[in-house]
Structure 1
Amino acid sequence: MSLKTVNTALTTAGILFILYIGLSYLVAPGTIAPGFGLPDWPSGDGDGFLILKGVRDTVSGLVLAVLLLTGHRRALGFVLLAEAVTPFGDMTTVLAHHGSAAIAFGVHGLTATVIVVIGLLTLRETRTVTAAPAPALS
C-alpha cells in the first residue's frame, strides 16, 4: 500500500469525523456539547456559540475535502498542519476553563497530534526528490 493511499484514507476519515462533529453542533448542539470537555455551557442566546463551533468545524472539513478532491496534495498537507491549531486551541480552552483534563488531552490534544502526523505524512508524500548530479566524465 502506497503512502498516498494511506494518507488519502487517513485524511478521508478525518474529514468525515470533523464533518460529523460540525453537523452535530448545527443539528443538536445541546446533545454533543457536553463531550467538548467544558464544565458549563452557555444558555439562552449564548447557545449561539455552539452553532458557531458547528460552522467552524463544518468549514474545516469542507476545505480539506476540496483540497483532497481536487488533488492539491501539497496544499492539503500545509492546511492540515494549519488546521491542527484548532483542536490545540480547543484543548487549551478546556484546560483554561477548568474543564476535563482527560477530554482536553485525550480528545483535543490527540486530535491535534493526529492531524499534524497526517499533514507531515502528506507533505512527505509530495516532496520533490531531486537526483544527485551525475559525475562529470573527464
Structure 2
Amino acid sequence: MLTTTATVLTGLLGVAIVVMGARTFWAPRAAVGFGIPDTPTEDRSFQSWLTVKGVRDIACGLFILVLLAGASTHLLGWFLLTATLIPLGDALIVRHSKGPGAAVYGMHGATAVVMLALSLVLLTA
C-alpha cells in the first residue's frame, strides 16, 4: 500500500513539475514565486533564462513520468533520489540570493524532503 501511494504521489509530482515548467511560457511573472528578490520578469534577457528553466522543469517532469510508465519502482526511486538535488540546489540558490525563508524552506526545501521520502519508499519496495 505504501509503495502504491508513493508511486501515485511520484506521478503527481511529475505532472506538477511539467505544469510549473510550462507556466514559465504563459506566465513569466510566476518566476517571482521562485524566491529570488528583485526578479526582473519584464526583462527580455531574463525571460530567456526563464525559458531555460521551463524546459528543464518540463524535461524533469517527463523523465519521472516515463520512468513511472516503464521502469521498476527501484529505478524510479534512484532517479527521484538523484533529482532531489534540483530543489535542494534551488533552495541554496534562493538562500544565497537572500530570498525569503518561505521560498527556501517552505517551497524548495519541502519539495526536496518530499522527493527524498518518496525515493526512500520506492527504493525499499
Name the TM-score class by shorter chain.
over 0.9
1:1-138 correspondence to structure 2 within 5 Å: 2-30=1-29, 32-42=30-40, 43-125=43-125
Cα deviation 1:9-44 (Å, max 9, x = unaligned): 1111111211111111122222x1111111122423
Matched residue type, 1:37: G
Between stretches 84-93 and 71-80, larger displacement belongs to 71-80
> Does the 8 Å contact 1:26/1:55 carry over to 2?
no
Query: Greater RCO between the two (CA within 8 Å, min separation 6)?
Result: 2
Larger radius of gyration: 1
**Structure 1 stretches (4+) deviating beyond 2 angstroms?**
none
- CA–CA distance in structure 2, aligned partners of residues 59 and 45 of structure 1: 22
Work out the number of aligned pairs and report it: 123
Cα-to-partner distance string for 1:75-98 (whole Å, 9 max, x where unaligned):
110010111100011101111011
Cα distance in 1 for partners of 2:44, 2:65 equals: 34
TM-score, structure 2 length as denominator?
0.92
Structure 2, unmatched stretches of 5+, are none
Matches of 2:71 and 2:97, distance apart in 1: 40
Gaps of 5+ in 1: 126-138
Query: Structure 1 length normalisation: TM-score?
Result: 0.84
Aligned-pair identity (%): 37
